[in-house]
Amino acid sequence: MPAPQCASCNKARAALRRPRSGQALCGACFCAAFEAEVLHTVVAGRLLPPGAVVAVGASGGKDSTVLAHVLRELAPRLDISLHLVAVDEGIGGYRDAALAAVRRQAARWELPLTVVAYADLFGGWTMDAVARSTAGSGRSRSCCTFCGVLRRRALEEGARLVGATHVVTGHNADDMAETVLMNFLRGDAGRLARGGGLGSPGEGGALPRCRPLQLASQKEVVLYAHFRRLDYFSEECVYAPEAFRGHARDLLKMLEAARPSAVLDLVHSAERLALAPAARPPPPGACSRCGALASRALCQACALLDGLNRGRPRLAIGKGRRGLDEEGPPREPQPSRPPTSQSVPDF
């Protein structure tokens, strides 16, 4: 059966059906619609004011690649400037290739790039060293929790280094829905209540952060990368299969098959949640070591580094005395498989 005409331009043949709406579009009209939706997210949410110097967390994966590309297209209209900031976690056999992809993007798009490394920022600790240290401690399955906390700090440091006023990350709707689901599964009401919205305004002196792709589905991010022919890194991190997030992802896929709106419904549910006064966590103070926002004496990053340096790796973040909050942080833009004939439907 021949492909229908594009429902937007009525000229070209449609190349895809939008996963959520079912609308048949050609590649050019789909990309224009995707960019317009991100623009709307940024403008309606007042995420990036004119004149903002924006540090884009760049991992080389599809999400941050699409984010950087879309923001570069929108930069003149938004009156913002962009700076790519990549974090080298020190993961042998993985991060070097991903960073090579970021360097190619920076060169092609003529964007400044700064790379910050865990080893330099955290007293020689790399993720590989953290994984070795936690092996056998019962915490080796929690690499992503350590990594997420440290990367948040590293990205903040990198953004300050380049004089950024705002930080953006490439989390998409699926990432956010997984996080909401994980927080429900852990019964972590505090994180559920804090996790809504499109970002954080910059409490405690931190730079404001936002997620302009938060309402875009993972499928559409992949489609955009495909139709714009973006070059991105698509291997999975060696530690990813151990993460609890994988279970939330599988569950979400099942939910989405039964109810296609499940992903966005979960994202919006976090925005509408309100904690009963008695369940609200105390207002955060300042870390006694680094001054970052902290709900205890030490912030999450300092507590993790403290445990590692004492030879007692611990996840002293999150929930009460147990200090367990495993696999918790939202995934930074993760590489995924390149589009396949199944993920890029054509007629």
Instruction: Single out the residue of 84, 73, 249 nearest to residue 173, CA to CA.
Output: 249
Residue 312 Cβ, how far from Zn ion at the closest point, in Å? 18
Cα-based torsion angle of the residue sequence 332, 338, 341, 346 in order, rounded to the nearest 10 degrees: 70
Residue 134 Cβ, how far from ligand SF4 at the closest point, in Å? 11
Nearer to Zn ion, 43 or 290 (CB): 290
DSSP state of 88: E
Instruction: Single out the residue of 171, 296, 90, 94 nearest to residue 304, CA to CA.
Output: 296
Nearer to Zn ion, 173 or 287 (CB): 287
Nearer to Zn ion, 27 or 329 (CB): 329
Q: Which does 239 bind (CB under 5 to 8 A by kind): Zn ion, ligand SF4, none?
A: ligand SF4
Nearer to ligand SF4, 88 or 256 (CB): 88
Backbone CA torsion sign across 166, 170, 176, 179: negative
Nearer to ligand SF4, 35 or 89 (CB): 89
Sequence-distant (≥ 6) Cβ neighbours of residue 77 within 8 angstroms:
39
Residue 12, H or E segment: none
Interacting residues toward ligand SF4 by CB under 6 A: 89, 127, 143-144, 147-148, 237, 239-240, 243, 334
Residue 310 Cβ, how far from Zn ion at the closest point, in Å? 15
Q: How far apart are the first and last CA of the chain?
A: 8
Alpha-carbon distance 313 to 324, whole Å? 12
Q: Which does 244 bind (CB under 5 to 8 A by kind): Zn ion, ligand SF4, none?
A: none
Q: Which does 127 bind (CB under 5 to 8 A by kind): Zn ion, ligand SF4, none?
A: ligand SF4
Q: Which does 36 bind (CB under 5 to 8 A by kind): ligand SF4, Zn ion, none?
A: none
Supply 248's token pair: 């939330």
Nearer to ligand SF4, 217 or 334 (CB): 334
Supply 116's token pair: 């910050």
Residue 133 Cβ, how far from ligand SF4 at the closest point, in Å? 14
Sequence-distant (≥ 6) Cβ neighbours of residue 50 within 8 angstroms:
78, 79, 80
Residue 242 Cβ, how far from ligand SF4 at the closest point, in Å? 8
Q: Which does 148 bind (CB under 5 to 8 A by kind): ligand SF4, Zn ion, none?
A: ligand SF4
Residue 288 Cβ, how far from Zn ion at the closest point, in Å? 8
Q: Which does 89 bind (CB under 5 to 8 A by kind): ligand SF4, Zn ion, none?
A: ligand SF4
Cα-based torsion angle of the residue sequence 233, 236, 240, 241 in order, rounded to the nearest 10 degrees: 160
